[in-house]
């Protein structure tokens, strides 16, 4: 209720500051009747209902249309959001906020070219618009057009030198395009300094440092877990790091925690199975591979292979053969499974 009232206050403030042109006389009338029972009742309904009331009186109110479009977009109602955005386009086809939101919806509808055009128009008409430039930077980075990505991200930083996402995505581009991991890490760190709970940047620091074998990697993973303990993916990554450093007990602990949070973490079960294969504890390995298969029965040829190998090492030739064949059903030319079957025939 408090959140709704806060948003309602923003609605009323925004509308009070908005010049809606042709309907100015209606707005004036609405202001003069602010003590009416209809306006008093606005505080008793949700923000969307409040906006509906305002838009009934002022159909061309730009701020109200934008706010209602955003509410519908955030609620997953693209159809209603587009309806309001189309009305906005008729009123002001170059409204930057309308163009940003229209691009977001176009991306959801897999209309990436249309989204690009919307965001580029936004950047053209508004030299200070950050959102559309940031989205263009992300888009161009994702399709490996790195020079364009850097251009838009640098524009963002000229407008706002404290924009954490711009530093983060610039780091991504520098790492992928210029292969300069050290410089990329500086950008990731800058993003984290500006936004302490920037999960994506913390994760990327952890992944990048882990790939280098740097002992600081767990620090960044644990910072995420300090904020949100229910992250099975982060425990999984911790397990991968610890295993790479031959810290087996810590790896087992991290993988186990991952599966406790999410019993469908097939990769964690699989890696536990591999660890116990290395320890020659084949019964435990078999059980973990079975759990990996139960969590993900399809496209899990490695888990079937791992369980087959465990059976083979335990002398259970019949079940070993069954699982080697199941592995090959999922990936017909998987060489380790073919070699496993060949061993059983000797």
Domain boundaries, the chain: 1-93, 110-191, 196-246
Are the CB atoms for 106 and 122 separated by under 8 Å?
A: no
Alpha carbons 306 and 319: distance in angstroms, whole number: 12
pLDDT at 249: 98
Please indicate, yes or no, whether the overall pTM of this predicted structure exceeds 0.95: no
pLDDT at 33: 30
CATH classification code of 110-191: 1.25.40.10
Other C-beta atoms closer than 10 Å to the C-beta of 73 total 20
Give average pLDDT by consecutive 10-residue segment, the chain, 346 residues: 40 40 34 32 59 85 90 91 92 94 94 96 96 96 93 97 97 92 96 97 97 96 97 98 97 98 98 98 98 97 98 97 97 97 92
Q: Which helix (H) or strand (E) holds 63?
A: helix 62-74
pLDDT at 31: 31
How buried is residue 6: exposed, middle or buried, by Cβ count under 10 Å (0-12/13-18/19+)?
A: exposed
pLDDT at 51: 84
> Measured in whole angstroms, how far is the alpha carbon of residue 317 from the centre of its chain?
45
């Amino acid at each position: 209720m408090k959140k709704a009232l806060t948003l309602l206050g923003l609605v009323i403030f925004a509308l009070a500051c908005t010049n809606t042109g042709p309907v100015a006389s209606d707005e004036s009338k609405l202001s003069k009747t602010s003590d009416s029972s209809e306006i008093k009742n606005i505080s008793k309904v949700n923000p969307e209902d409040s906006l509906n009331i305002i838009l009934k009186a002022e159909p061309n109110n730009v701020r109200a249309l934008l706010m209602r479009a955003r509410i519908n977009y955030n609620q997953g109602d693209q159809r209603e959001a587009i309806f309001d955005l189309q009305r906005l386009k008729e009123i002001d086809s170059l409204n930057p906020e309308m163009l940003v939101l229209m691009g977001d919806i176009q991306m959801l509808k897999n209309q990436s070219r249309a989204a690009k055009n919307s965001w580029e128009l936004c950047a053209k008409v508004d030299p200070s618009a950050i959102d559309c430039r940031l989205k263009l930077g992300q888009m161009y980075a994702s399709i490996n057009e790195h020079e364009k990505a850097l251009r838009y991200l640098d524009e963002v930083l000229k407008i706002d030198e404290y924009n954490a996402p711009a530093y983060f995505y610039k780091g991504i581009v520098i790492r992928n395009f210029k292969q300069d991991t050290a410089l990329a890490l500086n950008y990731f760190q800058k993003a984290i300094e500006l936004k302490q709970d920037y999960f994506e940047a913390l994760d990327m620091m952890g992944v990048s440092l882990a790939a280098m074998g740097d002992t600081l990697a767990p620090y960044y993973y644990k910072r995420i877990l300090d904020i949100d303990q229910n992250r099975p993916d982060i425990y999984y990554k911790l397990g991968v790091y610890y295993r790479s450093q031959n810290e087996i007990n810590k790896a087992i602990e991290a993988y186990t925690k991952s599966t406790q949070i999410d019993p469908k973490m097939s990769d964690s079960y699989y890696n536990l199975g591999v660890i116990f294969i290395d320890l020659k504890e084949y019964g435990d390995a078999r059980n973990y591979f079975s759990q990996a298969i139960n969590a993900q029965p399809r496209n899990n040829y490695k888990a079937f292979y791992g369980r087959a190998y465990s059976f083979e090492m335990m002398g259970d030739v019949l079940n070993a053969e069954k699982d080697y064949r199941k592995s090959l059903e999922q990936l017909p030319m998987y060489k380790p499974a073919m070699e496993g079957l060949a061993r059983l025939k000797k």
